[in-house]
Structures are given as structure tokens and as C-alpha cells.
Amino acid sequence: MEFMPQMQMHQPTSVEDAVSLHGAAPDGRYLAGGSDLLVNIRRGIEQPDSLVYVNNIPEMRAITETSDQITIGGAVTLRELSGNSAVAEHFAAVAQAAGEVAGPSHREYGTVGGNLCLDTRCVFYNQSEWWRAANNYCLKYRGEICHVAPGGKKCFAAFSGDVAPALLLFDAEVEIAGPDGRRRMPLADLYRNDGMDHLTLRPGELLVAIHVAKLTTSISSAPIASAYAKSRIRGSIDFPLAGVAVAMAVAGGKITDLRIALTGVSPLPFLAKGMDDFIGREGDETCLEEIRDKIRTQAKAMKTTTTPPHYRRRVAGALAQKLAASIF
């Protein structure tokens, strides 16, 4: 591990203080669990002069439930999120995804906000300063070329958070605080398809909370069934080679609702297109294979991990097939 540079750390107890402290030190960064940021600082990818620690802000630490929605504070830990019964009841995929992040010790201090704002990852980027310098850096940071797709001008570093696709199933919204006050927007709008700059946050903005409305199936008031699964070489620690969240409802043997979201295969998490085509279909083997194939074509993984993209595309489809089969 490389050495940690000296930094000033602030520990505000309100969102407003956090935003103003950050405003006073524009080269600073918000710090929550630190499991992503501190590693990147040690590697010289990030070089902030100060850190604004947000886990002491009560508003950001709470999960609150009302009759029609749940609000999750940005600094709620992944362990807390995965163990929350209301979340598990209404948004099973969200609880599962939170429980699948990295390993138990990461989940103990890693937060949902941190997981949603995770930097994109690439095997040519998540390396030491010496390594990246020896490789002439890359498009994402300090360099001119992309080693994944030399000749291109687009960065393919993959978004690798587990929780985002699960929240996308439920049209979650994020609440953002910044120098100009607070705003809300769909979670999907937090992201853009650019590995270099995948978050739409403006300078100094902080993800305060996630609001997610309880979703029922189109034919009953029951919570919609959902599940999350990720592919990884090891059953712990690893980021997703591909992560798949599925929400599905079935009535009379036929699909009435189907949504599938992906992570780990492109610079942003996204809802797969064309899932409405399956409404009214019976969940037979042919249907499941068609779901698999449709997901496969949308999972455009590139060589951003040591596992070949060929597998990551195929396994994304396979996981969608497997999860859909399990909900049937």
C-alpha cells in the first residue's frame, strides 16, 4: 500500500455545514465509508487537500418509512440497508444488493451514498501511480489514450456499484444538497454514459438521501417481487463482473411486470430496454432464453477487468435468466 498524504479532515453534523466546509475547500472531497476513496487517494488517483466526513450527520444516517415510500439517508451503511426489514419487504433486490457489496467489513462502514457515487473502475486505472505512469496513464486520468479501446476517445471504465441497479428498478430519486440549495432528481439522471465523468453532480454537491416509492404490481397491491445477483470469481470482496437486478410480477402464469437493470458492464447502471415485450408471455424456457439473449445484447462489457468481456456479457444474460426463473 502506498502512503497516505496529509489532509485536513472536517466532521460536520449538518448537511448545510458539510456543504459550506466543502465550498471553503474546493479541492476537498466528501468522505463516507472511504472504502473506495481512501484506496484511490493512496494510489494517487485522488489528491484532495481536505476531507468532509459526512457520517456524523444525523439526517444522512436514518432510514424512514411512510405509508407509500422509504427514505434512505446517504450515509446509511450497507450493512444497515441490507438488514432493514422494510427495505427487504418492499425492495428485496435493494437489500440483497447491499448485502452483496464487497465483504462484511466493507459493508460495516461502506455507505449507500458511497456505493451510488462509486468511481468507475478499470484495470488500467485502479493501479498505483508508478503503474499508471509506466503505462503512460489513460484517458480517464492524466493520459491521452484508452488502453481498453486504443484509438477511441471514449472511456469505458465500468460503474461497479451493486445497489444502483436495484434502486433503478423502483424509479428511486436522489436528494442532492449543494451550494445552490437542495434538488431532487431521478437516480437514473445521476449517471451519464462516460467512464471519465459518469456522475452528473455539480461541484460541491452531496447526495443526502434516496427516496423510493413503494411499488406494487400492476394487478394487485402486493409489493413487486425483486432480486439481485452478481457474477464474481469469489463469493466475497469482488466487484461485480456483471450485476443484474430483476423486478417481476406474474399472474395466471403470465408476466405482468418486468424490469431488469444492469451494473458492472458499462460506465453507468441502467434499466434494460425492451422488457415490456415480455408482458403477457408465459415463463417457459423459450421466454427465459429470450430474456437472457435480450440482456446479453445490452450488456456491452469491455476489457476493464481481468475476466474477459465475453464472459461478462454472457453471464449478465445468464443471471437475468436465473433470477427470472427463480421468481416464477
Partner 1 sequence: MSTSEQDIIPVQSIGVPKPLVDGPEKTTGKAMFAADFQSIEALVGRILRSPHAHANIIRIDTSKAEALPGVKAVVTEADCSDSYGVLPIAMNEWALARGRVRYRGEPVAAVAAINVATAQAALDLIEVTYEELPAYFTAADARADDALDLHQEKPGNIEREVDFDLGDVDQGMAAADLIREVDVRCAEVCQVQMEPHAAYAEYDPGRERLTIRPSTQVPFYVHKMLSRTMGMADSHIRVIKPHIGGGFGSRTETLQSDLIAGLLARKARGTVRVVLSREETFITHRGRPESHIKMKVGMKADGTITATDFSVVQRGGAYSGYGIVTILYAGSMIFGLYDISSVRFKGFRVLTNTPPCGAFRGHGTVKTRFAFEGLIDDMATELGLDPFAVRRANLLVAPTMTENDLLVNSYGLDQCLDWAEAASAWKVRKGKMGPNKGLGMACSHYISGASKPKHWTGEPHATIHLRVDWDASITLLTGAAEIGQGSSTVMAQCVAETLGVDMSRIRVIASDSAVTPKDNGSYSSRVTFMVGNASIDAAQNLKATLVAAAARKLEIAPEDVECLGEVFRGGQQDQGLSFDEVVMEALKGEGTITVKGTYDTIPESWGGKKYRGAAIGGTMAFSYAAQVVEVTVDPYTAEITVDKVWVAHDCGRALNPLAVEGQVQGSVWMGMGQAMSEETQYHEGLLLHANMLDYRVPTIIESPPIEVGIIEANDPHGPFGAKEAGEGSLSSFLPALTNAVADAMGVRATDLPLTPDKLLELLEKKARDIKASGRAA
Q: Which of residues 19-78 bind partner 1 (CB under 8 A)?
A: none
Beta strand 50-53 pairing with 29-31 = parallel
Q: How far is the CB of 307 from partner 1 (least distance, A)?
A: 6
Tell me how far apart the alpha carbons of residues 34 and 157 are, in angstroms, rounded to a whole number.
Answer: 20
Residue placing its CB nearer to partner 1 in the complex, 6 or 85: 6
Nearer to partner 1, 182 or 322 (CB): 322
Distance CA 60, CA 284 (A): 44
Which 3-state string (H, E, C) describes the chain? Answer: CCCCCCCEEECCCCHHHHHHHHHHCCCCEEECCCCCHHHHHHCCCCCCCEEEECCCCHHHHCEEECCCEEEEECCCEHHHHHHCHHHHHHCHHHHHHHHCCCCHHHHHHCEHHHHHCCCCECCCCCCCHHHHHHCCCECCEECCCCCCCCCCCCCCCECCCCHHHHHHCCCCEEEEEECCEEEEEEHHHHECCCCCCCECCCCCCEEEEEEEECCECCCCCCECEEEEEEECCCCCCCCCCEEEEEEEEEECCEEEEEEEEEECCCCCCEECCCHHHHCCCECCHHHHHHHHHHHHHHCCCCCCCCCCHHHHHHHHHHHHHHHHHHHC
219: contact with partner 1 by CB under 8 A: no
User: Distance of CA 268 to CAs 78, 126, 280, 326, Å?
Assistant: 20, 17, 30, 26
Note whether 327 binds partner 1 by CB under 8 A. no
Only one of the segments 84-92, 128-136, 206-214, 278-286 lies at the binding site for partner 1 (rule: CB under 8 A); that segment is 128-136
Determine, following the binding rule CB under 8 A, whether residue 314 of this chain makes contact with partner 1: yes
| 238 counts as binding partner 1 under rule CB under 8 A | yes
Nearest distance from C-beta of residue 35 to partner 1, angstroms? 12
Pick from 128, 216, 217, 256: which binds partner 1 (CB under 8 A)? 128
Give yes or no for residue 310 binding partner 1 (CB under 8 A).
yes
> Given the rule CB under 8 A, which of 59-67, 177-185, 199-207, 316-324 is the region that contacts partner 1?
316-324
Question: Of these, 26, 58, 274, 308, which contacts partner 1 (CB under 8 A)?
Answer: 308
Q: Which stretch in 12-20, 127-135, 137-145, 210-218 sits in contact with partner 1 by CB under 8 A?
A: 127-135
Chosen residue from 185, 237, 251, 279 binding partner 1 by CB under 8 A: 237
160 is an interface residue for partner 1 by CB under 8 A:
no
- Does residue number 217 form part of the binding site for partner 1 (CB under 8 A)? no
Q: How far is the CB of 42 from partner 1 (least distance, A)?
A: 9
Quick one: 109 or 131, whose CB is closer to partner 1?
Answer: 131
**Positions in 246-305 near partner 1 (CB under 8 A):** 305
Binding status of residue 150 toward partner 1 by CB under 8 A: no
* Stretch near partner 1 under the rule CB under 8 A, chosen from 7-15, 183-191, 251-259, 314-322: 314-322
Residue 3 binds to partner 1 (criterion: CB under 8 A): yes
Sites of contact with partner 1 (CB under 8 A):
1-3, 5, 103, 123-124, 126-128, 130-131, 133-135, 147, 231, 233-239, 305-308, 310-311, 314-315, 318-319, 321-322
